[in-house]
Amino acid sequence: MRLNQIRDFLATVETGSIRAAARRLALSQPALTKSLRQLENELGAVLLTRGVRGARPTDLGRAFLARARAVNADLQRARDELAQLRGSMTGSLSIGTAPGPALGLLPAALARVRTRWPEATFRVVDVSPSGVLPALREGALDLAVCASVGPPSSAGAEFTVEPLYLNDAAIVSRTGHPLSRARRIASLAGADWVRSGYPGDLSALPDMFRRAGLPPPTYRIDCPSFLMVPELVARTDLLATVPWQIAVRETRAGRLARVPLVDKLPPRQINLYRRADVPLTPIASHCAEVLRAEARRQRRAPWT
């Protein structure tokens, strides 16, 4: 298997047709078709279906796609590493982040990293706890700063999971909501809620209700966008749980109120994730060091 065959396969999947992929790669269509057929013959599998609607990966092609992306990403990291070891300030870094770190940790860390790597490019993407490991495995991310799903050991030997700090959560309502001054979780038993975060992610709220002997919270809207959650809460009588950084920002603006419960939501462990079997490039290694330092500064940041 040749690297150019992997490149050709990825280009075909990403563009959706052999013609478009050939144009992107500056190849003739017969040359690209030959490369793809050689790859399929070597793997003993049909990777693409070709028709009037273009080229689409088969089930086997989709399985191979994740590996191909990982190989391609690792090759680019190897190029970046060699250039950086020769003194280049260029390169790229992809980081996944949860909402809390995106507001409280990552901006300060990236500002520091950029002073050392001014010519590098950075890609920051929202990622859910359940999506961290697949994104790292496929090579889409170099690092991720995100909440845990289960203990660190559950990630397996394929990944390194390094605890950074605990991040508090808050229950918020619109300003003037009848429950905005509630002190006990039992007072919220009849409330309607926005379920924030991604489907499948863990939430402490149902456990909190169960421990208090209450029926499960009633979720009226599922909303994975933490950007939209404050807007929904501000315009309705729905309640939501959000990272404390979002609560502080919105309460300072006078748009939301933090419900001052005596019963506290448990904090979530924020971890630094990376693949254990892939060495970090110099820029990724430096970024990891800066994230650790910033986490020490912001660990269990007080409500302000």
pLDDT tens, 90-143? 788 999 998 889 888 999 999 999 999 998 999 999 988 888 999 998 888 999
Confidence band, pLDDT 50/70/90 cuts, at residue 199: low
For 153-195, the DSSP string reads GGG-TTEEEEEEEEE-EEEEEETT-TTTT--SGGGGTT-EEEE
Q: What's the CA gap between 270 and 146, in Å, rounded? A: 5
Domain residues of the chain, as ranges?
A: 3-74, 89-167+269-298, 169-266
Of 3.40.30.10, 1.10.10.10, 2.60.120.460, 3.40.50.740, which CATH number belongs to 3-74?
A: 1.10.10.10
CATH placement of domain 89-167+269-298: 3.40.190.10
Q: Which helix (H) or strand (E) holds 124?
A: strand 121-126
Q: pLDDT tens, 247-280?
A: 999 999 999 999 999 988 888 889 999 999 888 8
Confidence band, pLDDT 50/70/90 cuts, at residue 150: low
At the fourth CATH level, the homologous superfamily of domain 169-266 is Periplasmic binding protein-like II (3.40.190.10)
Q: Where are the alpha helices (DSSP H) in 16-89?
A: 18-25, 29-43, 59-85
Assess whether the region 3-74 and the region 89-167+269-298 belong to the same CATH fold: no
Q: What's the CA gap between 14 and 32, in Å, rounded? A: 14
Of residues 23 and 151, the one with the higher pLDDT is 23
Of residues 303 and 38, the one with the higher pLDDT is 38
pLDDT at 198 over 70: no
